[in-house]
Amino acid sequence: MPAPAPDASLAEVPYSHKGLTYPFGRRAPEPGEAIALADGVRWARLPVPGSLKHINVWLLDDGDGIAVVDTGLAIPPSREAWEALLAGPLAGRPVTRVIVTHFHPDHIGLAGWLCVRFSAPLWMTRAEWLYARMLASDIRDAPPEEAVAYWTAAGWDAAAIDAQKAKGWGRFAAAVSPVPLGFVRMRDGDRIPIGAREWRVVVGSGHCPEHACLLDEAGKLLIAGDQVLPRITSNVSLSLSEPEADPLGEWLESIARLRTLADDLFVLPSHGEPFTGLHARLDALDHGHRDRLDALHRHLAEPRRAVDCFSVLFGRRIDESILGLATGEAMAHLRHLEVEGRAIREVHDRAYWYRAA
């Protein structure tokens, strides 16, 4: 559901929508601004091209310096936004550590740049660091044959495959600064003192392999990354790296685990505005996926490929700019139905055809 239209008169007035309350209303940080959310916790925002438009980053007091959570893309506008922060509200305070929730480029993009600039360590979960290192090093002139086979299995036509081939391979590396060779590992359940607060690592999966959320139980704060977003649903895709996995199953299991957390937490998401109403949002995410699975199961009364399921899953036209994301999401839903025993996969001319079991 799109956010309500901006209204300057309500910019700092709390409001509620679909069971969520936004204590800071429609207020969001301007470039170079850091908004205090709680003692020692500030909110900044960096530009992201495309429909996302921004990523939120969190600045945590850490002694005489600042611990940074997530970093934005390695693009000039994001670097300029960081320079404005470092010359403005963060002036004179070094970055003590760079914490990255997961490997996606809008989160890890400038981590290496900040680590080098401040001689600061990178903190991540092991799987996310390994994925980032692997993808950053995989640069080729043409996509590997495994990628072409994946697109063929999903039902892409020759024109779509040729268009993707023309883009080369290794775009991840273009969006991130060099990923540090070493890191400090975060594990589920770890407790990390940062300044006057203690944060517990809460790991989720499905959107990525080992996503780290940070929970301050005493302060009732949850830095949620992409694991819980207030208005949009994080992409859950069947990846080329693990084509027989069940990422949607992992995502639904993660929702169930996160629901054991207190409902009165102040949730700090990577996209959108900070909110309360964690359980309502988790319920909506869970129900949304299960409703789509049921609709997809009905759609498979006749055999379908992933590309034949876009209308059921998305209700919108899928153009070239989001074809890859839509394909991954469709494959994840079809794979979950297969794992549940609700769909059967058959292969014809290298394409995967699914039918209801």
- pLDDT tens-place string over residues 254-301: 999 999 999 999 999 999 999 999 999 999 999 999 999 999 999 999
- Are the beta carbons of 214 and 199 closer than 8 angstroms? yes
The strand pairing partners of 193, in sequence order, are 198
Q: What CATH number should be reported for the domain whose range is 10-140+171-299? A: 3.60.15.10
Q: Which residues contact 77 (CB under 8 A, 6 or more apart)?
A: 46, 47
The answer on pLDDT for 1 being more than 90 is no
- Are the beta carbons of 14 and 24 closer than 8 angstroms? yes
What mean pLDDT is reported for the chain? 95
The strand pairing partners of 67, in sequence order, are 60, 97
User: What residue segments make up the domains of the chain, in order of their start?
Assistant: 10-140+171-299
Spell out where the chain has E strands.
15-17, 20-22, 35-38, 41-47, 54-62, 65-69, 95-99, 122-124, 184-185, 191-194, 197-204, 211-216, 221-225, 266-269, 343-348, 351-356
Environment class of 154 (CB within 10 Å of its CB; exposed 0-12, middle 13-18, buried 19+): buried
Roughly what angle, to the nearest 10 degrees, separates helices 278-299 and 323-340?
80
Token code pair at residue 8 = 């300057």
What local confidence, expressed as pLDDT, does residue 9 receive? Answer: 38
145-158 pLDDT, tens per residue? Answer: 999 999 999 999 99
Share of the chain above pLDDT 70, in %: 97
CA angle at residue 56 from 84 to 207, to 5 degrees? 145
The answer on pLDDT for 11 being more than 80 is no
**16-20, 144-148, 157-161, 232-236: range with lowest mean pLDDT:** 16-20
What local confidence, expressed as pLDDT, does residue 6 receive? Answer: 35
Average of per-residue pLDDT across 105-126? 98
Q: Residue type at 140?
A: R
Return the residue matching tokens 């069971």. 19
**Measured between alpha carbons, how far is 143 from 64 in angstroms, rounded to an integer?**
46
Q: Taking the model in full, what pTM does it have?
A: 0.94
DSSP state of 291: H
**Measured between alpha carbons, how far is 2 from 6 in angstroms, rounded to an integer?**
11
**Confidence class of residue 51 from pLDDT cuts 50, 70 and 90?**
confident
**Measured between alpha carbons, how far is 220 from 264 in angstroms, rounded to an integer?**
7
Number of alpha carbons in the 13 Å side-chain half-sphere of residue 97: 20
Of the candidates 281, 248, 287, the residue with the CA atom closest to the CA atom of residue 266: 281
**Confidence class of residue 12 from pLDDT cuts 50, 70 and 90?**
low
Q: Kindly report the number of other CB atoms within 10 A of residue 314's CB atom.
A: 15
DSSP state of 167: T
**Confidence class of residue 341 from pLDDT cuts 50, 70 and 90?**
very high
Average of per-residue pLDDT across 298-327? 95
What local confidence, expressed as pLDDT, does residue 2 receive? Answer: 30
**Measured between alpha carbons, how far is 253 from 256 in angstroms, rounded to an integer?**
5
**Confidence class of residue 15 from pLDDT cuts 50, 70 and 90?**
confident
69-105 pLDDT, tens per residue? Answer: 999 999 999 999 999 999 999 999 999 999 999 999 9
Q: Which residues contact 311 (CB under 8 A, 6 or more apart)?
A: none
**Measured between alpha carbons, how far is 266 from 219 in angstroms, rounded to an integer?**
9
The answer on pLDDT for 5 being more than 90 is no
**Confidence class of residue 315 from pLDDT cuts 50, 70 and 90?**
confident
The answer on pLDDT for 347 being more than 70 is yes
What local confidence, expressed as pLDDT, does residue 57 receive? Answer: 98
3-state DSSP call for residue 346?
strand
Radius of gyration of the chain measured on its C-alpha atoms = 21
